[in-house]
Structure 1
Amino acid sequence: MSEYTELKAQIAKLQEQAEEARRAELEAVLADIRRKIVEYGLTAQDLGLSVVRRGRPPKKEPLPPIYQDPKSGSTWSGRGKPPKWIAGKNRERFLISQAHS
């Protein structure tokens, strides 16, 4: 067997030994971490870990209105499907005065 092949075999054996040592130490390390989390009342945020939230994303605040129907007073933010009172018409005449600035 060549020296290179022997060294590769030794590396593989050492990697196995290192992984076994890691697994053996991991349980003790995790137990110690869990004990300290409970002892000090630490949260994921305290540890700098991001909390993954499942389910629906939080609702976004509605956008401010840009257009207003002078007849009914109805407003529209300019996003999504346009309401019937503005659809197909020149939108400039429905602009709310603050939107000009």
Structure 2
Amino acid sequence: MSTYQELIAQRAALEKQTADLEKQIADTLKAERSNVINQIKTLMADHGITAADLGGKVGRPPKAAVAGAQPRKVAAKFRDPSTGETWSGRGLKPKWLTAALESGRKIEEFTL
């Protein structure tokens, strides 16, 4: 039977082997990806194809476009019949809905 120290040593050896294998896998994938990209570039050059010919968006959008994007509005799901106030169902419940629910009303009564 193995001792605790022997098991700890085996575990450390296995963890090192796992780390080495993961690094080898990452390196292999990186090399394969590089080769595939080079093949694609060569084929595109041979046939006179540009990235625009492939259609769709190429690469990531500029940061300014992402940063300047307006937050999307969410449609209201609940309405207070007496005041007309609405709630989308996201975030904290509004006070009017909390009070109504505490008074015994059901949330289905406020559904749009």
Range class of TM-score, shorter chain: 0.3 to 0.5
**What is the TM-score of this pair, normalised by structure 2?**
0.38
User: Highest CA radius of gyration, 1 or 2?
Assistant: 1
More helix as a share of residues: 2
What's the TM-score, normalizing by structure 1? 0.41
